[in-house]
């Protein structure tokens, strides 16, 4: 005797198994996805903060650069001028040193001429005795 297959019951069982399998997959996958989303959200926040900080630092450097360049352009001629002044003063000092040396030499020569010659003095003295 052939037994009738309970088609409806089999369908119900298959459907419930499928549902149970889906729920098992959904629970695991959903939890994993939620965790990944939370992690990515946190990473994104960090990255946005970093992005903002980098932009801020970039803008700060970008703003400071022309101002520093301008200051440098303003001060460079002053440095050149100061160096030129030092060079001129050095030259003047060297000239004055030479002049002083010449005067000292002239003074020394004059002093030597004024001093009496011991030999001629002795001759004069001998003549007067005679």
- In angstroms, give the least distance from the CB of 128 to other proteins: 29
Q: What is the torsional sign of CA 90, 96, 102, 104?
A: negative
How buried is 13 (Cβ within 10 angstroms: 0-12 exposed, 13-18 middle, 19+ buried)? exposed
- In angstroms, give the least distance from the CB of 47 to other proteins: 4
- Distances 127 to 12, 116, 119, 130 between C-alpha atoms, Å: 166, 17, 13, 5
Among 10, 24, 28, 106, binds other proteins (CB under 8 A): 106
Spatial separation of the C-alpha atoms in residues 108 and 102, rounded to whole Å? 10
Binding mask 23-52 for other proteins (x = CB under 8 A): x--x--xx--xx-xx--xx-xx--xx-xx-
Residues 78-97 binding other proteins (CB under 8 A) are 78-79, 82-83, 85-86, 89-90, 92-93, 96-97
Position 15 contacts other proteins (CB under 8 A): yes
Q: Which is nearer to other proteins, 43 or 123 (CB)?
A: 43
Position 10 contacts other proteins (CB under 8 A): no
- In angstroms, give the least distance from the CB of 116 to other proteins: 15
């Amino acid at each position: 005797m052939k037994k009738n297959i309970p088609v409806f019951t089999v369908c119900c069982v298959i459907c419930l198994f499928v549902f149970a399998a889906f729920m098992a997959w959904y629970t695991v996958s959903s939890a994993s996805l939620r965790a990944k989303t939370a992690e990515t959200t946190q990473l994104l926040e960090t990255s946005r903060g970093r992005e903002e900080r980098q932009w801020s630092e970039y803008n700060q450097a970008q703003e400071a650069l022309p101002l520093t360049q301008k200051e440098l352009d303003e001060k460079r001629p002053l440095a050149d001028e100061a160096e030129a002044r030092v060079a001129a003063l050095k030259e003047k000092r060297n000239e004055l040193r030479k002049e002083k040396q010449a005067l000292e030499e002239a003074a020394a020569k004059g002093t030597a001429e004024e001093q009496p010659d011991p030999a001629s003095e002795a001759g004069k003295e001998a003549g007067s005795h005679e």
